[in-house]
Amino acid sequence: MIEVQSVSKSYGKKSNQFHALKNISFTIPDGSIVAIVGKSGSGKSTLMHVMSGLEPASEGTVTINGKVFENMKAKDIDVFRATEMSFIFQSFFIEPNQTSFQNVMLPLEIAMIPRNKRAEYVNAALEAVELSDKSDVKAANLSGGQKQRLAIARAIVHKPKLIFADEPTGNLDSATGEHIIELLFNLNKTLGSTLVIVTHDRELAARCQVQIKLKDGAIDEIVKKGNL
């Protein structure tokens, strides 16, 4: 469960302080699919960064599975993030001089997956994003869409329970984008992974169980489906 309680985030010093998030509160049950929507500059990415412990809140608390970021050391947050969470950001961090296989292998080392299981995990993730045939190709030689898919393979390879995706389909054509979304929704179904997706896509947002709508850094509306 993710609990966001009275979270505010400001940038800059007193005189020209900018309030990117204003008193945000909500709860996300395990295994749900959540969309964060709102205009450009409304605070979607900032909210995702604060929710995932990448940036500290200025006020308020974020609790994930009973762990309060505020009370944790930076190093413990890093370990928690590496083992329990996964991130798909628009500016994907892939190693251009390593092959697809090597890129997808990286998180398994950090997440401490047993050595003899790793190749199997990597091959399954590459297959899921239809990059099996690029396994031995250097990432630098992939197209933009292939790099995005590689980033997604890397994000899902250790079968994380909590996935944060910031406009994961933003740079993709609609067919590839749909494929990636199906892949993420499938992880939710098979592993019960919680998905938190920032998106501009209204149709995609409408398919999510919870929509958190932001306006100027504040919650405009929270729309829930069914009996959540």
Footprint on this chain of Mg ion (rule: CB under 5 A) = 44-45
Asked if residue 43 binds ligand ADP (CB under 6 A), the reply is yes
Which residue from 4, 22, 34, 46 is in contact with ligand ADP, where contact means CB under 6 A?
Answer: 46
> For residues 22 and 8, is the Cβ–Cβ distance under 8 A?
yes
> For residues 36 and 50, is the Cβ–Cβ distance under 8 A?
no
Torsion, Cα 48 222 216 64, to 10 degrees, reads -30
Query: Quick one: 41 or 192, whose CB is closer to ligand ADP?
Result: 41
When CB distances are held under 5 to 8 angstroms depending on the partner's kind, the choice from ligand ADP, Mg ion, none that residue 43 binds is ligand ADP
When CB distances are held under 5 to 8 angstroms depending on the partner's kind, the choice from Mg ion, ligand ADP, none that residue 20 binds is ligand ADP
Tell me the residue number closest to Mg ion, measured at CB. Answer: 45
Asked if residue 11 binds ligand ADP (CB under 6 A), the reply is yes
Asked if residue 168 binds ligand ADP (CB under 6 A), the reply is no
- End-to-end alpha carbon distance in the chain: 13
Q: How distant, in Å, are the alpha carbons of 23, 103, 161, 181 from that of 184?
A: 29, 19, 11, 5
Q: Tokens 């504040």 appear where?
A: 218
Asked if residue 41 binds ligand ADP (CB under 6 A), the reply is yes
> For residues 66 and 2, is the Cβ–Cβ distance under 8 A?
no
How many residues line the site for ligand ADP (CB under 6 A)? 11
Distance (Å, rounded) from C-alpha 166 to C-alpha 95?
20
Query: Quick one: 38 or 107, whose CB is closer to ligand ADP?
Result: 38
Interacting residues with ligand ADP (CB under 6 A): 11, 18, 20, 38, 40-46
